[in-house]
Structure 1
Amino acid sequence: MKLKLFQVDAFAEKTFSGNPAAVVPLEEWLPSHLMQNIARENNLSETVFFVPRGTNFEIRWFTPTTEVNLCGHATLAAAFVLFEHIGFNGKEIVFHSRSGKLTVKKEEKLIVLNFPTSEINAIKLPENSAKAFGIEPQQCFKGRENLLFVFRNEKEIQNLEPDFSCLMKMEERGIIATAPSVDYDFVSRFFAPREGIDEDPVTGSAHTVLIPYWSQKSGKTKLVARQISKRGGTLYCKNLGNRVEIGGNAITYLIGEIDI
């Protein structure tokens, strides 16, 4: 069996930046264990699969070790492949997923995701938070699947050298570190060692937590964010209340074929 594979740098203006995702279009679902093996072989933070259902699509995402409930950059990559390579000519792509209905549209030069907002609640700092980051965060919030740690400034985020053995002990799927920025409304980094990803380059799903937090903090509904990983990526954000919009660019790195 031969399958088409696209590798797309999402939230990127040029290759070798943003977050790479493997995109595998399907006509029907493969067995879950086979999709997991493909994701493991690709060894990227996410491999995304989608199948057509009428005029809409079903979508699933896999890290090298597990299937996840929501992934932003791989959804953006899948939409980019549909728009640019498969010839989807509608105004809006509708994906059905474990996290409900997700929509994607083209808006000028951006691809814009519309995702459900994650509720956040302030909690006490975990006992090992200072050891985990090498510096004490100011605050901690719990989202749907992630913990959000707030730091004083961008330099603290840049200089973080996490102890991943400590982060592994935290029960949540992912760990977000964020702070205000001079050049952007906020910056962040994202760590998910429990999902087989020590640090994710650019994480759209994390912004379902970050956007409501920084929107409330700043009083702004439109924000520009930067994830300051080594690859880095810029995200154009809008708070819609119970939904958020997350916009970014994408570029094709590779078009190939899987033979299994």
Structure 2
Amino acid sequence: MSTAIAIIDAFASAPFRGNPAAVCLLEEERDAAWMQQVAAEMNLSETAFLRADGEDGYGLRWFTPTQEVELCGHATLASAHYLWTNGLLSVDREARFHTLSGLLAAAKTEDGIRLDFPAEIAEPVTAPEELIQGLGLIPRFAGCNRMDYLVEVDSEETVRTLRPDFGLLAKADARGIIVTSRGHAGSEPSYDFVSRAFYPASGVNEDPVTGSAHCALAPYWQRRLRKDELSAYQASARGGALRISVRGERVFMTGQAVTVMTGQLWV
């Protein structure tokens, strides 16, 4: 029996930009070991596994090449795009996903796909030595939430030119490390803030565009800039732009997606 699968570039308006995710539509239950093998075969930062959950949306799980994760934005955006473009869900209906982080939703808008995610506030901490040495700098701010470290540095240039020691960063007691700064006012286009995100302990040295990282970045920069509406850019090699709204304990992220490949799994 075959299983439908697609590769979709998320937070991208054109192919080969943003963050690619594999989306696998399950017709029957498959165990976590099988999902992990498929994710390792896809070798993308995340592979999403969707399964219809009656009239109440879809079950959704995310796997890196080495482990399951609790929250992933770009593969959720890719999953919603897959449902709408393949006629599995009417474009005027909200996509609802039951996940390890609770109920997540996505809606089609004029600007793209808007994700409704929880805010994941990073509380201030003392930066551990492996973080300082791995990044090669003393952060302006270091915080941590249930998943990641969040580090503010002095400039957009520092974010863009950073060359981390991934072996040292993998030793940090967290899923990953998010590095950010305020955007440079003179750049074109300009953004409120920029970031990069590193997940060597999860088998992904640098993630191209990370929705879940912005669940920490958005409330952080909302407080710093005193703005509820923010523009963001993740400055990886592929790059990706996001429009963000912060509403209480929810973060709304808007981006686009492009399907680059569809096929069948024969395992």
> Shorter-chain TM-score category?
over 0.9
Matched-pair contact (CA < 8 Å) for 1:23–1:78: yes
For 2:129, the equivalent position in structure 1 comes to 127
Matches within 5 A, 1:96-245: 96-182=98-184, 183-245=190-252
Q: 2 CA distance for matches of 1:200 and 1:22?
A: 14
Secondary structure of 2:222's aligned partner: helix
CA distance 1:109–1:85, shift in 2 (3 Å): farther
Q: 1 CA distance for matches of 2:29 and 2:172?
A: 33
Q: 1 CA distance for matches of 2:85 and 2:200?
A: 33
Partner AA of 1:7 in structure 2: I
Q: 2 CA distance for matches of 1:46 and 1:77?
A: 10
Matched-pair contact (CA < 8 Å) for 2:3–2:27: no
Matched-pair contact (CA < 8 Å) for 2:121–2:220: no
For 2:47, the equivalent position in structure 1 comes to 47
For 1:57, the equivalent position in structure 2 comes to 58
* Alpha-carbon distance, 1:199 to partner: 0.4
What residue ranges of structure 1 are gaps of 5+ in the alignment? none
Q: 2 CA distance for matches of 1:125 and 1:42?
A: 34
* Alpha-carbon distance, 1:171 to partner: 0.7
* Alpha-carbon distance, 1:137 to partner: 1.6
What residue ranges of structure 2 are gaps of 5+ in the alignment? 185-189
* Alpha-carbon distance, 1:87 to partner: 3.6
Secondary structure of 2:86's aligned partner: helix
Q: 1 CA distance for matches of 2:33 and 2:122?
A: 33
* Alpha-carbon distance, 1:42 to partner: 0.5
Secondary structure of 1:238's aligned partner: strand
Alpha-carbon deviations, 1:148-191, whole Å to 9, x = none? 00001100001100011110110100100000002101000000
Q: What is the aligned residue count?
A: 260
Matched-pair contact (CA < 8 Å) for 2:245–2:252: yes
* Identity among equivalent pairs (%): 43
Q: 2 CA distance for matches of 1:237 and 1:150?
A: 19
* Alpha-carbon distance, 1:138 to partner: 1.2
Partner AA of 1:30 in structure 2: R
Secondary structure of 2:78's aligned partner: helix
For 1:68, the equivalent position in structure 2 comes to 69
* Alpha-carbon distance, 1:21 to partner: 0.3
* Alpha-carbon distance, 1:127 to partner: 2.2
* Alpha-carbon distance, 1:109 to partner: 3.1
Q: 1 CA distance for matches of 2:15 and 2:253?
A: 20
My pick for the range that moved more, 125-134 or 96-105, is 125-134
Matched-pair contact (CA < 8 Å) for 1:129–1:136: no
Q: 1 CA distance for matches of 2:11 and 2:125?
A: 31
For 2:13, the equivalent position in structure 1 comes to 13
Secondary structure of 1:128's aligned partner: helix
Q: 2 CA distance for matches of 1:111 and 1:77?
A: 9
Query: Which runs of at least 4 in structure 1 moved beyond 6 Å after TM superposition?
Result: none
Q: 2 CA distance for matches of 1:147 and 1:88?
A: 36
Alpha-carbon deviations, 1:78-114, whole Å to 9, x = none? 0000011234114211101100010100111310110
